[in-house]
Structure 1
């Protein structure tokens, strides 16, 4: 998990008022009290809900995030490495691999943050990315 923690941490640290905390399993990033990213390992089929959703008993590392609209529909149906999280209709997961596209992670995590952040913060992030 360590090879993915640094890059995800760096992306999330650039988002205003975002903070990192230990989750019940893995690490999550939040804006106010809303989780916009969750990074966790799957090993020996645990945690079972994530292993089932991702279609792997591991070892693997997954990242979950929020999405909406056409992008959400596309990510839910594109198949591996993406998967629909059964615990939230707007939550998507991706099984990370060493060749993960860093720019795609930036886009997915920034979009997730903007969906859950207060409007003023989201607008600030969107204005800065243009």
Structure 2
């Protein structure tokens, strides 16, 4: 890997992280709205809440990553691959959030602990998402 390729990969990672941060912000906003409306902050209900949130942020994340991060051509297979990966990662996020929210080891307020769990879950799956998107879904070769 030459110096230019390393710089390009670093710029892609930074851009991907920024798009991911916008997805996390959308995710956190939607989750907080649902938690506040229902009064339910922990347990399996988060699978439904993550599904609703996923439906909202997945398309914007795909378009931003396709056009700015990986500068890919429009095709349905990259969209299907991206949404499939994001769906798997979102499910993994829901598993992490559901498990962690039921084990509030620091005895924080439920709402605060749920938000911390959501952030930790997003960080845990973000790197995996970048690697799969870069080398498989948006790979130009």
Which structure ranks higher in relative contact order (CA pairs < 8 Å, sequence separation ≥ 6)?
2
TM-score range relative to shorter protein: under 0.3
- Greater Cα radius of gyration, structure 1 or 2: 2
Normalised to the residue count of structure 1, the TM-score between the two structures is 0.27
Normalised to the residue count of structure 2, the TM-score between the two structures is 0.25
Structure having the higher helix fraction is 2
